[in-house]
A and B are shown apart, each in its own frame.
Chain A
Amino acid sequence: MSTPAIVGNPLREPRIIFRRYAIIAIAAALVLALGKYTIVEETDWERMGSAAEIASTTLDFLPDLAFFPETFLPLLETLLIALWGTTLAVIMAIPVAYLAARNITPHPWITYPLGRGLIVLSRSTHEIIFALLFVSAVGLGPLPGIMALAVRSVGFMAKTTAEAIENASPGPIEAIRATGAWPVMVFLYGVVPQVFPIFVGNAIFQLDINIRRASILGLVGGGGIGYMFAEVMQNLRYDRAGTIVVGITTMVILGEFISNRIRNRII
């Protein structure tokens, strides 16, 4: 019955403590260098003015409530753009997910990388970039906005759907295949019923995100409330800009609340 030797906490050894602090110090130095480089050197401090000026500009943004009714139509437009963009994305996501799901893709070396590539391209390009390209191709208005949102959202929808398909139970799929059904039928009757609830939940989530995205498309000519916002900012009507910000915030928060409610009910 010897008493166990008291072992020191290995994490308290000087070598480890030194290494930990060294990592923190290097990270801090890196961050400070980045901060000096990006913020201190690149900012026009002269033009910013004093703290009082900054405060007075900030106060200019206090909302002008009389302007509020005028934002209703653009807000409705934004909502419709989000709705249409999501609808198109949902439709386009089905074939892409079919290509990008490893277990049902027609060809693992040709169609699978194609589907994955489309997903990566759609997910890593910002909606503003898509909107710019569509605006310069088809002109101003809600149409390029809808197209941009659709193309932007396909990636997420197809990715989550493909993952759901990959996780689908193989039993029903094999059963349908055993009846001699061709691939499209196998997909429709073996896969779709299994992934449908997940798909709908993700579509609602995507709609919620797209409301937020749709509100900035107007900055580059994609229609919706963003266009009005860009206009009032250019005319230096900051009070109106404040009103629009309040309107967008209300819409986005309401959208998030409703979409959470519906999703909790479905899943």
Chain B
Amino acid sequence: MRSQTAEIYEGYLSNRRGAQMWKFVALLAFLVFAVWSIDVLKIPIERVLGMFGPLWRMVSERLMPPDLAYVAQPKILRSIVETIGMSVLGSLVGILIVMPLAWFAAWNVSPARFILYPLARIIIVIARGVPTLMWAMLLVAIFGFGPLAGTLALMTATIGFAGKLLAEQVEAIDMNRVDAIRATGANEVLVFFYGVLPQVWASWVGIIIYNWDAQFRGSTILGFVGAGGLGLYLREQLSVLEYHTAMGVITVVIVLVILSETISHYLRHRLY
């Protein structure tokens, strides 16, 4: 009786020692990694500790208060409309392209599993893998400065972002209803329209709205690389070190993003 209790207790102790060992090893590994990575990144340690002073001065003296008179100019207001236009057009065209792609890229209903499925997957993965701002730079190099490159970049971002989400929804549908449509002799297109689309439509609309919100967030800084929109003025003001006006632009961006998020949140909740 006693020996059994002692055994359990000893087992508990050795377990605890093991756990502590592991914790120690993990901590050691983390420290080694930290030192190594700081070395790779060439981060000057003395600057880490001394950075809070300049940071605070920057925020309190140079950035605040934001110059809102600058933002009320007609050219800024026009570029706000341009930003909204880019995000709406980019996500709309992107969605029109990505809806069939999501159909192809859903394994359960893909019309051609060995041609269209991998093709659609590859398109979505590449569109997803490259960040939006980088797409914008590439497209600016090809199509020149202006909102066309930005709109195309947002379109590509939509294909990557919404494509995966839409296809996930299609892969989760009830296959009985698809089989029922198929049993009537309908071809693949009709199966999609009558078997798949009615099942996913509600969640697709939610994703489409959410996607617009996400693309709008991205569109506010595309001007940074010359791809149109509000970001242009941010870059301009920062490059001439006009921090108060730059902060004014940033304030407008933040307000617009919060607004778009609120709209998208409201619309999505009204849907369900």
A interface with B by C-beta (< 8 Å): 31, 34-35, 37-39, 42-44, 47-48, 54, 57-58, 61, 76-77, 80-81, 83-84, 120-121, 124-126, 128-129, 132-134, 136-139, 141-143, 146-147, 212-213, 215-216, 219-220, 223, 226, 229-230, 233, 238, 241, 245, 248-250, 252-253, 256
Contact = CB atoms under 8 A, between A and B. Distances in A.
Contacts of A245: 130, 134, 138
B258 A120 contact: yes
Interface string B34-67: 0001001111100110010011001100010000
25 contacts: A37-B81, A38-B86, A38-B147, A43-B143, A48-B144, A120-B258, A124-B261, A125-B254, A126-B253, A129-B234, A129-B250, A132-B234, A136-B243, A137-B58, A138-B54, A142-B41, A143-B41, A143-B43, A143-B48, A216-B131, A219-B133, A226-B134, A238-B141, A241-B141, A256-B128
Contact of A57 (B37, B141, B225, B261): B141
A216 B218 CA distance: 12
B63 A143 contact: no
B138 A80 contact: no
A129 B221 contact: yes
A37 B129 contact: no
B131 A80 contact: no
Given A133-B58, A233-B137, A142 B42 contact: yes
Contact of B88 (A34, A219, A249): A34
Interface residues of B, number: 57
A70 B131 CA distance: 20
B129 A253 contact: yes
Contact of A215 (B43, B84, B131, B142): B131
A219 B133 CA distance: 9
Contacts of B145: 44, 47
Interface centre among B86, B126, B138, B220 (most CB of A within 10 A): B138
Report whether over half of chain B's contact residues are helix, strand or loop; otherwise say mixed: helix
Given A39-B151, A76-B40, A137-B51, A252 B129 contact: yes
Contact of B89 (A38, A44, A83, A84): A38
A136 B47 contact: no
A42 B84 CA distance: 14
A83 B142 contact: no
B141 A233 contact: yes
B58 A47 contact: no
A24 B44 CA distance: 58
B125 to A, nearest CB: 6
A37 B144 contact: no
Interface string B229-269: 00000100010000100000010011001100100000000
B194 to A, nearest CB: 16
Contacts of A230: 137
Given A34-B88, A133-B58, A216 B141 contact: no
B131 A124 contact: no
A42 B146 contact: yes
Contacts of B146: 42-44
Closest A-B pairs by Cβ, 5 of them: A249-B129, A38-B85, A34-B85, A124-B257, A137-B58
Contacts of B143: 43, 48, 54
Given A121-B254, A143-B47, A238-B141, A43 B148 contact: yes
A241 B130 CA distance: 12
Contacts of B125: 249, 253
A134 B58 CA distance: 9
A44 B151 contact: no
Contacts of A42: 82, 146-147, 228
Given A77-B41, A143-B44, A220-B224, 16 more contacts: A35-B85, A77-B40, A121-B254, A124-B257, A124-B258, A126-B220, A132-B234, A133-B63, A138-B47, A138-B55, A142-B41, A216-B134, A229-B137, A241-B138, A245-B138, A248-B131
B210 to A, nearest CB: 14
Interface in B150-193: 151
A38 B151 contact: yes
A219 B140 CA distance: 15
A249 B134 CA distance: 11
B129 A219 contact: no
Contacts of A133: 58-59, 63
